[in-house]
Structure 1
Amino acid sequence: MAIRIDLTLDCAQPTPLAAFYKAAFGYEDEPPPAPFTTREEWVASFPEDPHDDADDGAWLHDPEGVGPRIFFQQVKQPKVEKVRLHLDFRVAGTGTPQERWARIRAAAERIEGSGARRLAEFDGHHVVLADPEGNEFCLG
């Protein structure tokens, strides 16, 4: 039996960062677990934590069920160095290497329009970007 992988991304502001990933990659809000009808209802089922605030988490999933679910978890500590694990996103499509590279560059420009920052470009292969909180990811 294969084990499903979910990703947790530590961040300062989960809701705006989740909005970036939704706009950039087509992810959607993850529904709450049954029997709850809203995420707020699910959160309210836990004992109150005085250290929590209203924006301490956001949950997303790939609507096609291919990519992993992503949980954006609020942490108080700032990001201080490169994360040792990063996300790789693959641009779909077929064609010549030049056509593939054109699709990757166009996707990178679109994602930059959603709030990403370009860190590096490896001609013909992939682009390294950072999300609005500085978390690195590759687009290839």
Structure 2
Amino acid sequence: MAHRIDLTLDCADAPKLAEFWKLALGYIDEPPPAPYRTRQEWLAQFDLPDDDGGGAWLCDPEGRGPRLSLIDVPEPKVVKNRMHIDIRVAGEGTSEERWARITGHAELLTAAGATVLWVTDGHHVTMADPEGNEFDVC
């Protein structure tokens, strides 16, 4: 049996960055695990230090993609990611139609605070989220 994966992204402002990634991925806030009513109630069961920071938890509303946890950390991002997210834009059609969807999504994310790092014409756009984490739209 294959194992499922979750992705965790260290960041400076989890709630703010979560809004960007919900737009980028079409994700929603993940409800707290049963029987907890809130995420804070769920977190209270763990003996976490008071300065543990905040977080945000996102999920694919259709349950297909991996969960994404965003965790506040005190140190800034200083080097290139060793692993990155590829946002695979859905849809069929010609290569021109697919490229139009890719660049359209990249434009939407740029308006939401992402930065285009480089473009590989006809294939993908490499970007950075508002905190500098690299990802591709392909």
**TM-score, normalised relative to structure 2:** 0.95
What CA deviation, in whole Å up to 9, does each residue of 1:87-133 have, x standing for no partner? Answer: 00100111111111111111110111111111110000000011000
Do residues 49 (structure 1) and 43 (structure 2) align? no
Q: Which amino acid letter does the alignment assign opposite residue 31 of structure 2?
A: P
Moved over 4 A (4+): none
- Determine the structure 2 residue equivalent to 1:112: 110
Distance 1:25 1:114 in 2: 13
What CA deviation, in whole Å up to 9, does each residue of 1:53-75 have, x standing for no partner? Answer: 4xx11100010112110000111
3-state SS in 2 of match to 1:119:
strand
Q: Which amino acid letter does the alignment assign opposite residue 32 of structure 1?
A: P
Do residues 133 (structure 1) and 131 (structure 2) align? yes
Distance 1:47 1:125 in 2: 46
Distance 2:130 2:96 in 1: 29
Contact 1:24–1:114 (Cα < 8 Å) also in 2: no
Note the C-alpha offset of 1:24.
2.3
Q: How does 1:1-140 map to 2 (within 5 A)?
A: 1-47=1-47, 49-53=49-53, 56-140=54-138
Distance 2:108 2:79 in 1: 26
Alignment gaps of 5+ in structure 1? none
3-state SS in 1 of match to 2:70:
strand
Q: How many residues align?
A: 138
Note the C-alpha offset of 1:26.
1.2
Alignment gaps of 5+ in structure 2? none
Q: Which amino acid letter does the alignment assign opposite residue 14 of structure 1?
A: A
| Identity %, equivalent residues | 59
Distance 1:25 1:86 in 2: 14
**TM-score, normalised relative to structure 1:** 0.93
